[in-house]
Amino acid sequence: MAGWRERSWWGWGWADEAFDDDACRQLAERTLRPWMPIDGTVTPIPYDPVLDRPRLIPPSILEEAFAPDSMTRAAHSYGKAYRDVVRALHGRIENPPDLVAFPRTTHDVVAILDWAEACDAAVVPYGGGSSVVGGVEYRGAAPWISLDLSRLNRVVEIDETNLAVRVQAGVFGPALEEALKPKELTLRHFPQSFEFSTVGGWIATRSGGHYATGPTRIDDFVEALRVVTPAGPIESLRVPASGAGPSPDRLFLGSEGALGVIVEAWLRITRRPAHTASTAVTFPTLADAVDAVREIVQSGLRPSNCRVLDPLEAMLQAGATDGQARLLLGFESPAFDVQPSLDAAMSLCTAHSGAALEKSTVDTWRGSFLRAPYVRDALARLGLIVETVETACTWNRFEALHAAVIAAVQAAAPAKVAMVTCRFTHVYPDGPAPYFTIVTPGRRGAEVGIWDEIKHAVSEAIVAAGGTITHHHAVGRDHRPWYEQQRSPLFAAALQAAKDALDPRGILNPGVLI
């Protein structure tokens, strides 16, 4: 059909956006050759996954909602983490879903959960499949169903008076913004996965948007939820705020499909920005940039972009060649001129040896940011280990945490050769959200084991340094050991009690959170 594009089943995004073999080699020569060995061998892209036969047969009354074919099952086996991409590249589809369900209505969701309970089958809710923490991969022994919500894809109502939108959980980011655009409205929530993730996925994983300060996490936008659980439906009251006990919405934010299936939400929206101002700022050291940003965010200014890049990140992703750190700084508003805010922030930067640069640096970095997942896949095909790790910590702990992460990577990396970059994705008055990118040589066939070792070492370092195991990537299965260290035993017991009440047979996404 006109305009149709194929999603990559094994890697990120659109199949036609993936690097071809020559582009993979050119990328490595251009960016990595000075730091690490590249043999130039490119793993071929797989085309025909071979899977075990399904262990489940759907009832005839629900047959049209299910897809049992191998390609659909393979595409729903994993998320999009490095270890997912590498296993798919090598044809290692170890535990594919027996069936993939595509409910079109809330009634379908209820019927599928009822049937799954009767067959003792696990159900893993699936939005866009962009999880990088094992959130959509079932690792148990029971038969399982991937519950793909992408056909619950209606923007039901736009409430211009109260600035809210009622939307089904399977709506992807671009479709939501397209529906709001004619009315000059926006959700203003743009995670890196925006093009390939859904409203329900954002809520279930407590996603973080692109904006550095102010309302940016999906938590800030949720007004009310409708959730289907195996024990029955739950719908929260739509009001601007309430002090009536613990909020039911907060229970399902970050629940990762373990407590219920989010089917619909009311989200707070805003008017589209009419005024913008931005620049790039150079600093002699990362420490200078960090000090300036702390002052900016603690001053009461709320920049939309306040992204610190360390010198290596600035070189690789923003084209900087002077060995200095960068701050990408921007403000926006639907109603008033923001140039005075940018000027005030720049004065704080100047006090810390900051100097304004041309705006093209911002545009260069933005282009690299959007292409980063495709670059990751290309490097994986070259046999390299690529990982991204994100956290949040208080300002006084950042320096030690930064050093600990770099030391952990260097100690765990093969031959002690690794490249580690750092940037801030979000900043708060009480601390930053650092995001590390790690690239190190791998050994063909041993990539997942090396990734596991590095992931373990870095996660241990983050928790020991007082950081959270995740700021916006969620817990999934990959982060659960450190999440269990981070939370108190009593809260774990309360969460288990909620799980027992809402999902008595334990069929929903077993292995995440609990």
> Where do the structural domains in the chain lie, given as residue ranges?
158-271
Length of the chain equals 514
Mapped onto helix, strand or coil, the DSSP state of residue 446 is: coil
Whole-number pLDDT of residue 1:
47
Q: Are 67 and 92 in contact (CB under 8 A)?
A: no
Whole-number pLDDT of residue 49:
86
Q: Are 464 and 417 in contact (CB under 8 A)?
A: no
Q: Are 233 and 222 in contact (CB under 8 A)?
A: no
Per-residue pLDDT of the chain (514 residues; tens, 9 = 90+): 456 689 999 999 999 999 999 999 888 888 777 777 777 789 998 888 889 999 999 999 999 999 989 999 999 999 999 999 999 999 899 899 999 999 999 999 999 999 999 999 999 999 999 999 999 999 999 999 999 999 999 999 999 999 999 999 999 999 999 999 999 999 999 999 999 999 999 999 999 999 999 899 999 999 999 999 999 999 999 999 999 999 999 999 999 999 999 999 999 999 999 999 999 999 999 999 999 999 999 999 999 999 999 999 998 888 888 999 999 999 999 999 999 999 999 999 999 999 998 666 777 777 777 788 999 999 999 999 999 999 999 999 999 999 999 999 999 998 888 999 999 999 999 999 999 999 999 888 899 999 999 999 999 999 999 999 999 999 999 999 999 999 999 999 999 999 999 999 999 999 999 9
**What sign for the dihedral angle of Cα 248, 249, 252, 253?**
negative
Q: Which pTM does this prediction carry? A: 0.95
504 phi/psi in degrees, rounded to 5 = -60, -30
Whole-number pLDDT of residue 318:
81
The architecture in CATH of the region 158-271 reads 2-Layer Sandwich (3.30)
Scanning 163-303, the segments in alpha helix (DSSP H) are: 173-180, 199-205, 248-252, 286-298
Segment 438-467, tens digit of pLDDT: 999 988 889 999 999 999 999 999 999 999
What's the CA gap between 514 and 509, in Å, rounded? Answer: 10
Segment 477-509, tens digit of pLDDT: 999 999 999 999 999 999 999 999 999 999 999
